[in-house]
Structure 1
Amino acid sequence: MWSWVRSWGLSAVRAIFVHLVIDAQDILIILVTPVDTEPTRDAVTYWDIAEMPPTGDDPLNALIVRLAAAYQEPGLLKFHLDDVGSAAGRAAGLADPGLRVGTRDVVLTAGDHLCVYVLEWTLHHLDLVAYLPDMGEPPVEGLARSREMLERIAGAAFPASFSDEDALLVGTERRAPTDAEKAELDLPAAKFPLHLG
């Protein structure tokens, strides 16, 4: 999803932070706007798989870039993410996992909707680590859950020799596999990388 910003350096960090702010706002809105219809997707079937990685031409991506540029003071962006992100975290902890919510013209349970964000935010945490290695790795549980979800989305598993982090990075084309990894991938290589949208 973010291959188009990975060459931007620290401006990419601001873009990712803005994206996380928008995600946190979405969580708050969605969790307080339940729907009455039955779920149409779950945390795995929610994802659309694109043939090619995004180019950054999507209107939302353009908005994110403009918003990121507007935050001249990084501390303000950090404050905004801490503020909205903390509220989203509290709302997620209070939410009924079986609550039905709507987003992007689909209906999911709140539990599945939040699992979608476990995968997305784990990937974005890895994106940030690429630029800010001192920030620390994502939680082990989040990495394991995200790998499991990615493999279920693909319908194929990575070899056990791949760490959860390497499976996520290679599986979403955040880095190219080494020659040794290519040899191990074998048949699952046809399923990866996944361009999640």
Structure 2
Amino acid sequence: MVADLVAHLLLDAQRALRAAATPADGPPDTDAVTYWRAEGAPDDPAGALAHAWHVRRAASAYARPDGLLAVWRDTAAAAVRAVAAAPPVVATQGHRLRRDDLVATLCAEAAAHHLDLVVDLPGAPGPSPDVLAALVRALDGLAALAGGAPPAWAPERWALVGTGRERPTAAEAAGLGPLAGRLPLLG
């Protein structure tokens, strides 16, 4: 599972590199919130399964987990440098978005997967507050687009429930109202 998550994060770093080197041919058509709706992941179980198998195969290609981690570390560092020098509007996955929105999508995804990595590690630190805030902003925006109001919960709790990593309690679901039936907002 850990190797699969690192392989998935490697794909995100590669996406960042490609986006940083791909100036958009027009104005933004999505942002850090609507990007997640454009992805359609929650509504595409076959695509999600195919992606999971791809990630599993990519992770298994490394003889040792530290080899995969080294490739991710180098690629992520290169992505950070490349995105810092990227044009103001970039293209990725068929969409155009501002460089800052690209960074926000990458941070939101990194926060969600950080929560995945530490789920069985009591006492392990969660995502940094800034990275977690990117995920919370995306969830808040998706809640608004779904016609609901984001809950006034601790950021990590909203991140876990909003991404479907945990189910809301009965009281939380009641407080969410119809929004509870729309979970997860971001996969």
- Contact 1:15/1:68, CA 8 A, preserved across alignment: yes
Which residue in the other structure is 1:128 paired with? Answer: 117
Where is the helix percentage greater, Structure 1 or Structure 2?
A: 2
Q: What is the aligned partner in structure 1 of residue 19 from structure 2?
A: 30
Aligned sequence identity (%): 37
Q: Write out aligned runs for 1:155-166 (5 A).
A: 155=144, 156-160=148-152, 162-166=153-157
Aligned letter for 1:159? P
Q: Equivalents in 2 of 1:69, 1:83: separation in Å?
A: 19
Offset, 1:51: 5.5
Q: Secondary structure at the match of 1:185?
A: helix
What one-letter code is carried by the residue in structure 2 that aligns with 1:63?
Answer: H
Alpha carbons of structure 1 residues 41 and 159: separation in structure 2 relative to 1, 3 Å: closer
Separation of aligned partners in 1, 2:41 and 2:20:
27
SS of alignment partner, residue 57 of structure 1: helix
Change beyond 3 A, Cα 1:132–1:88: farther
Match of 2:119, SS? helix
For the Cα contact (< 8 Å) 1:147–1:167, is it kept in 2?
A: yes
Q: Residues 143 and 79 from structure 1, CA distance in 2 versus in 1: closer, same or farther, beyond 3 angstroms?
A: same
For structure 1, which runs of at least 5 residues remain unmatched after alignment?
A: 1-11
**TM-score, normalization: structure 1?**
0.81
Given that 2:149 and 2:176 are in contact with CA atoms closer than 8 Å, whether structure 1 keeps it comes out as no
Residues 68-105 of structure 1: CA deviation (Å, up to 9, x unaligned)? 11223111111111111111122233335xx2211121
Alpha-carbon distance in structure 1 between the residues aligned to 2:41 and 2:7: 23
Partner of 1:109: 98
Q: Does the aligned pair in 2 maintain the 1:122–1:143 contact within 8 Å?
A: yes
5+ residue gaps, structure 2, are none
Q: Which residue identity does 1:77 align to in structure 2?
A: L
Task: Pick closer, same or farther for the CA change 1:131–1:95 going to 2, 3 Å.
Answer: farther
SS at match of 1:138: coil
TM-score, reference length from structure 2: 0.85
Shift of 1:167: 0.5
Indicate the RMSD between aligned Cα atoms, in angstroms: 2.1
Residue number in structure 1 paired with 2:67: 76
